[in-house]
Amino acid sequence: MYRKGALLLAGILGLSACAGFGPTTVSRDRFDYNAAISDSWKRQMLYNLIKIRYGDAPVFLDVSSVISQYQIGGQISLGATLNNNPWSTSETLGATGNYVERPTITFTPVIGDKFARSLMSPIPPSAILSLVQGGYPVDLVFRLLVHEINGLRNRFGGDMRAYATDPEFLALVQKMRQIQLAGAIGMRHTKVDKQEAALLVIRGKADPAIDAMSREVRGILGLDPQASEFRVAYGAIPRDNQEIAILTRSILEVLVDISTDIEVPASDVEEKRVSPTFAETVAGEKVAPMIRIQSSPEKPAEAFVSVAYRNAYFWIDDRDLRSKKLFTFLMFVFTLVETGDKGSTPVVTIPTG
């Protein structure tokens, strides 16, 4: 009995040795929480897109902190009873163990000033140029984040002010994409009137075809055909032919525009619960949406992300690479525009006992 008790006691003590227990949780918990937060972030973004589509207000919750507290312990008891009768003895052996995990996850709603900064403030033109300089396709960036450039208007799918793309805008971003692929477009920062300013650089002399396309871009934008560097300013109308005026969107406007491409159940449209899906046409030809978000009465089997709303499931097909990339880019831009003072983070007190 005593040998069994010693072995059991050693096991309990080994189990309760926290010196080796804590480090083993880092790799497991870090990736588990990472996957859970990533999945919830995607589902929250899609859910808010659908709410906007149905005329509901979007609500975002940030995961401010994740704290995991662990407690492990054990107890062993030994006992024996001897009577005068040599054939009457009793022995007792008992052991208990416990393992407790207490995760503390803090959520912070995006409201008030933070909501205005993150969702309603226009994206700075310099941030858009930085995305282009970083290698993101200029046609994708401009079609998603820009309202107008030098008076050329991009499409907008909002119910209250929907309008189609100017044909020149599509031609412009397609030509700029070709110039970008040739490495003949970029940006640099300089001082103008003691203030930091962004310049868009368009080259083309190394290749006759790119040079001709660069001249076409200058002509569409009404720029000086001899200049290669142009000031970039926020606005719809440039001051002169040396400036590019970009009227950018806010994240909320981007979400409103994207949400109008969501395919909704026909019954919801018939019952006036939601407006019909926006169908854009330019010069009599239908323009394919940048992202496809489908709906179905059953839960999809092959979904990159899916959420249930009302009586339907809304989802992006895992085999739709174009839509997946745009959705991921949208979430990246959402974090990019988080600027300014974020305010004080909540104080969380975790007991150590």
Residue-wise pLDDT tens for the chain (353 aa)? 555 555 554 555 555 554 555 677 777 777 887 888 889 999 999 999 999 999 998 888 887 777 777 666 656 665 555 555 555 556 666 666 666 777 777 877 777 677 767 788 899 888 888 888 888 999 999 999 999 999 999 988 877 777 888 999 999 999 999 999 888 888 777 766 656 567 788 776 668 888 888 889 999 999 998 888 888 989 888 999 999 999 999 999 999 999 999 999 999 999 999 998 887 777 777 888 889 999 999 999 989 999 999 999 999 999 999 999 999 999 988 887 664 444 555 555 555 55
Question: Both 150 and 87 in a single domain?
Answer: no
The candidate with the shortest Cα–Cα distance to 341, out of 51, 163, 108, 117, is 117
What do you get for the CA distance between the two ends of the chain, in Å? 34
Residue 54 neighbours by CB distance under 10 Å: 15
Q: Is residue 345 situated within a structural domain?
A: no
Query: Taking the model in full, what pTM does it have?
Result: 0.77
Number of domains composing the chain:
2
Question: Both 123 and 82 in a single domain?
Answer: no
Q: Is residue 20 situated within a structural domain?
A: yes
Question: Both 25 and 124 in a single domain?
Answer: no
Question: Both 57 and 183 in a single domain?
Answer: no
Helices (H), the chain: 2-15, 18-53, 112-115, 125-133, 138-145, 167-181, 208-221, 251-259, 266-270, 321-336
Which of 61, 81, 110 is a domain's end point? 110
Contact between 199 and 190 under an 8 Å Cβ cutoff? The reply is yes
**b/e 134-161 (16+ beta carbons within 10 angstroms → b):** eebbbbbbbbbbbbbbbebbbbbbbeee
Q: Is residue 352 situated within a structural domain?
A: no
Question: Both 64 and 195 in a single domain?
Answer: no
Q: Give the angle 96-100-105 at the CA atoms, nearest 5°.
A: 175
Q: Is residue 350 situated within a structural domain?
A: no
The candidate with the shortest Cα–Cα distance to 109, out of 34, 58, 171, 151, is 58
Token duo for residue 144: 């998603």
Token duo for residue 353: 């006992």
Question: Both 280 and 247 in a single domain?
Answer: yes
Which of 87, 110, 133 is a domain's end point? 110
Domain of residue 54: give its range. Answer: 2-110
Residue 276 neighbours by CB distance under 10 Å: 11
The candidate with the shortest Cα–Cα distance to 290, out of 147, 157, 168, is 157
- Give the neighbor-by-neighbor strand order of the sheet with 229-234: 152-153, 146-149, 243-248, 229-234, 195-202, 185-192
Question: Both 320 and 249 in a single domain?
Answer: yes
User: What is the SS3 assignment for 338?
Assistant: coil
Question: Both 80 and 214 in a single domain?
Answer: no
Q: Is residue 203 situated within a structural domain?
A: yes
Question: Both 136 and 98 in a single domain?
Answer: no
Token duo for residue 7: 């072995």
Q: So what's the pLDDT on residue 269?
A: 93
Q: How far is CA 239 from CA 168, 222, 236, 296, in A?
A: 20, 11, 10, 50
Q: Is residue 50 situated within a structural domain?
A: yes
Q: Is residue 349 situated within a structural domain?
A: no
Helices (H), 16-109: 18-53
Q: Which residues fall within 8 angstroms of residue 36, CB to CB, at 6 or more apart?
A: none
Which residues face 156 on adjacent strands?
Answer: 163
Q: So what's the pLDDT on residue 340?
A: 44
The candidate with the shortest Cα–Cα distance to 138, out of 7, 63, 246, is 246
Token duo for residue 203: 């080259």
Contact between 282 and 296 under an 8 Å Cβ cutoff? The reply is no
Q: Give the span between the Cα atoms of 205 and 334, in whole angstroms.
A: 37
Q: Is residue 341 situated within a structural domain?
A: no
Question: Both 85 and 130 in a single domain?
Answer: no
User: What is the SS3 assignment for 312?
Assistant: strand
Which of 110, 136, 171 is a domain's end point? 110
Question: Both 173 and 152 in a single domain?
Answer: yes
Sign of the C-alpha dihedral, residues 243, 244, 250, 251? negative
Question: Both 86 and 133 in a single domain?
Answer: no
Contact between 293 and 311 under an 8 Å Cβ cutoff? The reply is no
